[in-house]
Amino acid sequence: MPQYYTISQINGYLESKMTADPFLKTIWLKGEISNFKAHGSGHYYFSLQDKTSSLRCVMFHFYASALSFLPYNGLEVFAKGKVTVYSRDGNCQLVATEIIAAGTGDQQLALLELKEKLQEEGLFAVERKKALPLVPQAVGVITSASGAAWQDVQKVSCSRFPGIPLYLYPVLVQGENAAQSIAQAIAFANTQKKVDVLLIGRGGGAREDLAAFDTELVVRAIADSEIPVVSAVGHESDDTLADLAADCRAATPSVAAALIFPDRLELQQKIDSLQSRLLGQMQNKLDQANHYLQMAVLRGKFDQPQILLANSKQRLQEGKENLLQMEAAYLQKSQAQLALMAAKLGSLDPLTVLSRGYAYVHKKNEAKPLISPQEVEYDELIDVVLANGELQCRVTGKGGK
């Protein structure tokens, strides 16, 4: 009898050989979809064909659910995956992980390849993301000086926590030189060390308008930043590589500002609540100690009152000393936390800012601060609030934008 192998052995051998082949492990194929079937399990089964050949393909539910379109017969696509042998029936097949309509062009394909490259390097990893400060000392905004994003951030910061300094790092947000402009601003902010959080973003636009935020130059600048970065590019539906690299992603610049600037009133309420809870816990401890004392006295009346009373007094004294030590330590820790928070709040108080030489300027009989020369007319009266008083001034000239 000749030496023989089973069909399963041969198919298994072919499968192991093809699985080990690095050329077939990750490959892009171009072809036309045929025999497409979306299974109830969520898997996609289809074939890719050209003029002379076809190849069976499967895309499992995990990857199929991530597609932004439903494939159909006759559609020309790029498909990425690994080529292997299905050992049960010996058929060669592509296990697809991505499908791109061929009409999207080389630019989309290049973007996906860049995304994979940066992801493999760990630039999008969750574990490398930095936490935002609870109360930032100063905030840097990297965006266009003339864009709506800068105006939106100013409005949100003024309404939630006025007094936190804002620094604008003006950049180009679209066009040929935008990526270099943004990357240089990130590096400059890190060298300058004036802020402890950066907001990078712009308003919405066409996909090509957001192209600077999909460049390797900007992504690496964000990843290299020692200062935490919040990305807010476009609208909520937009998703760029800069968003993936940032420490925090927001749907819009206004939402990003709300994440960075805490609500001052809410913060004060939390401090008041912590203080109230501390006092309540101390009172509960004292009430509990008093209850133990009364119970000890009652038990002592029925059985050897003198001995029981002496033991109870000793336990009460020990418990009282332990309680006082715990209360002192807890109170000291809480007071330190409250003092630290109060110091932060004090350093950001608008009056403290005024004492450093800044001024609060507004129209006569209006509380809204002036932020642009265009808001006043020549010869109009304005009030200038200083740390120790006010000045009444008349507009004789205007400058700026």
Rounded mean pLDDT of 125-147? 93
How many helical (H) and strand (E) elements, i.e. helices and strands, does the chain have?
12, 13
SS3 for 58? strand
Residue 337: is its pLDDT beyond 60?
yes
Domain 7-120 fold: OB fold (Dihydrolipoamide Acetyltransferase, E2P) (2.40.50)
Give the alpha-carbon dihedral of 308, 309, 312, 314, to 10 degrees: -110
d(C-alpha 25, C-alpha 94), whole Å: 10
d(C-alpha 324, C-alpha 345), whole Å: 31
Q: Bridge-partner residues for 29, per DSSP?
A: 79
d(C-alpha 375, C-alpha 372), whole Å: 6
* pLDDT the model gives residue 90: 75
Helical ranges in 75-147 per DSSP H: 105-120
> At which residue do the structure tokens 């005024």 appear?
354
* pLDDT the model gives residue 227: 96
Residue 329: is its pLDDT beyond 90?
no
> Which residues, including other chains, have CB under 8 Å from residue 259's CB and lie 6 or more apart?
132, 230, 248, 250
Query: SS3 helix, strand, coil % of the chain, rounded to 5?
Result: 50, 20, 30
Among the ranges given (99-103, 130-134, 236-240), the one the predictor scored with the smallest mean pLDDT: 236-240
SS3 for 207? helix
Inter-residue contact 83 to 57 (CB < 8 Å): no
Mean pLDDT score of the chain, rounded to an integer? Answer: 84
Whether the pTM exceeds 0.75: the reply is no
Give the alpha-carbon dihedral of 334, 337, 339, 344, to 10 degrees: -160
Rounded mean pLDDT of 98-110? 73
Residue 176: is its pLDDT beyond 70?
yes
Question: Regarding the domain with residue range 126-260, which homologous superfamily does it belong to in the CATH classification?
Answer: Succinyl-CoA synthetase domains (3.40.50.261)
Residue 182: is its pLDDT beyond 60?
yes
Inter-residue contact 331 to 278 (CB < 8 Å): yes
CB atoms within 10 A of CB 250: 21
* pLDDT the model gives residue 23: 84
* pLDDT the model gives residue 140: 95
* pLDDT the model gives residue 302: 45
* pLDDT the model gives residue 166: 93
Q: Which token pair is 168?
A: 């604008």
pLDDT tens figures, 43-102: 999 999 988 888 999 999 999 998 878 888 888 888 999 988 877 777 888 999 999 887
Rounded mean pLDDT of 202-217? 84
Complete DSSP assignment for 272-329: HHHHHHHHHHHHHHHHHHHHHHHHHHHHHTTS-HHHHHHHHHHHHHHHHHHHHHHHHH
Q: Which token pair is 251?
A: 């749907």
Q: Which token pair is 16?
A: 């192991």
Q: How far is CA 104 from CA 7, 76, 208, 213, 322, in A?
A: 42, 10, 13, 19, 73
Number of C-alpha atoms within 13 angstroms, CB side, residue 215? 20
* pLDDT the model gives residue 359: 82
Rounded mean pLDDT of 126-153? 93
Among the ranges given (22-36, 102-116, 270-284, 366-380), the one the predictor scored with the smallest mean pLDDT: 102-116
Nearest Cα residue to 393 out of 401, 66, 383, 385: 383
Inter-residue contact 90 to 7 (CB < 8 Å): yes
pLDDT tens figures, 270-286: 777 888 788 888 888 88
Give the alpha-carbon dihedral of 400, 234, 262, 159, to 10 degrees: 50
Rounded mean pLDDT of 236-261? 88
d(C-alpha 200, C-alpha 135), whole Å: 18
Sign of CA dihedral 341, 342, 345, 348: negative
Sign of CA dihedral 37, 39, 40, 42: negative
- Percent with pLDDT over 70 in the chain: 90
Q: Which residues of 266-303 are buried (b: 16+ CB within 10 A; e: fewer)?
A: ebeeeeeeeeeebeeeeeebeeeeeeebeebeeebeee
d(C-alpha 98, C-alpha 22), whole Å: 18
Residue 143: is its pLDDT beyond 90?
yes
* pLDDT the model gives residue 366: 78
Packing angle, helices 105-120 and 216-224, rounded to 10: 20
Residue 105: is its pLDDT beyond 70?
no
